[in-house]
Amino acid sequence: MALDQFPPDLVPVRTADGSHTLDSRALKEHYHSLHGAAAESRHVYIANGLLATGRQELRILEIGLGTGLNVLLTWIECGRRGWKADYVALEPFPLPERLWSALGHPAALGALGRQNGYDAMMRARAGEQILPGDGFTFRWERGLVQHIRYVEELDLVYYDAFSPAVQPDMWTKAVFDGLCRAMRSGARLVTYCAKGSVRRAMMEAGLEVQQLPGAPGKRQMTGVQRQ
Ligand SMILES: C[S@@+](CC[C@H](N)C(=O)[O-])C[C@H]1O[C@@H](n2cnc3c(N)ncnc32)[C@H](O)[C@@H]1O
């Protein structure tokens, strides 16, 4: 099944670290690794993304808001460190509340104090600015990565698309050309994906590719630097 509509059969599933994700039988895909959704997000996007930028004030673009796990972890981490982030997420298929709320991300992360802020971000209308606290700003746009028009504005990109097997059009040189244009010099992009053809597309777009150790259960992930 190609992804031209909201996955019709999403169900919550528990992953190895006790956090939950969504599974679609029709797509043969889940939103996070079954080896640990929270562990994967922390490793790929926080440890190798946010913390590797060396910046305490940054503009972040996430490709695929999904269940909001990455934005919640980023808000928590920036809050702890006193960092300022302006976070924009793209999402063509926003999830209904019954699905994201069933996952219990704030409780799984031991961050029930952030439940209201998480709910506010996930309930926001497209384009609505949310200030959940700690100087963090968030909005999501009903956009496709293929149509982004930023020019040298981003410090960090979380590339959390469905896999190349499910959405090959998300992993092309043309998409990475657009992201490369959108990133400032020295900006960083991270993704769980370590496929050779994806890395070649990134390199052809002029990005400097690093092979990094993967999240639990995965050998490698990819980090990318804009020259
Ligand atoms: C792996 S999930 C993201 C998980 C999410 N980051 C989280 O923390 O829960 C991939 C997401 O990309 C979204 N997506 C699909 N096509 C897209 C496109 N063309 N541009 C941006 N996002 C897209 C999907 O709807 C889905 O929510």
> Which CATH number covers residue 220?
3.40.50.150
Give residue for tokens 């698309």. 161
SS (H, E, C) 197-218: HHHHHHHHCCCEEEEEECCCCC
Residue type, 126: A
Q: Is the pLDDT of residue 218 over 80?
A: yes
- Rounded to a whole number of angstroms, the CA Rg of the chain reads 16
- Locate the ligand 1 atom nearest the alpha carbon of residue 21 and give its number: 9
199 in any annotated domain: yes
Among 202, 179, 157, CA closest to 64: 157
What is the extent of the structural domain holding 55? Answer: 36-225
Average pLDDT over residues 66-94: 97
Position 3 confidence tier, pLDDT thresholds 50, 70, 90: low
Task: From the CA of 71, give the closest atom in ligand 1.
Answer: 8
How many Å apart are CA 118 and CA 122, to the nearest integer?
6
What confidence tier does 6 reach under pLDDT thresholds 50, 70, 90?
Answer: confident
Q: Is residue 183 part of a domain?
A: yes
pLDDT at position 34 = 97
C-alpha 31 – ligand 1 centre gap (Å): 8
Contacts of 192 (CB under 8 A, 6+ apart): 33, 40, 44, 160, 214, 215, 218, 221
Q: What pLDDT, on the 0 to 100 scale, is given for residue 27?
A: 86
Ligand 1 cavity residues, CB under 6 Å? 3, 31, 63-64, 66-70, 90-93, 144-146, 160-162, 170
- Residue-level length of the chain: 227
123-132: average pLDDT: 98
Establish if 114 belongs to a structural domain.
yes
List the 84-90 sheet strands across, edge first: 130-133, 136-141, 84-90, 57-63, 154-159, 183-191, 220-225, 208-213
144 falls within a domain: yes
Rounded distance from Cα 100 to ligand 1 centre (Å): 13
Q: How many domains does the chain have?
A: 1
What's the confidence (pLDDT) of residue 4? 64
Residue 7, pLDDT above cutoff 80: no
Residue 111: C-alpha distances to residues 26, 72, 117 (Å): 32, 9, 11
Q: Please indicate, yes or no, if residue 25 is contained in any of the structural domains.
A: no
Q: Is residue 30 part of a domain?
A: no
Residue to substitute in 91, 179, 189, 192 for testing ligand 1 pocket (most ligand atoms within 8 angstroms of CB):
91
The answer to whether 156 and 49 are in contact (CB under 8 A) is: yes
Q: How many CB atoms lie within 10 A of CB 111?
A: 17
CA of 120 to the centre of ligand 1 (A): 19
Is the residue at 47 inside a domain? yes
Q: What is the pLDDT of residue 8?
A: 77
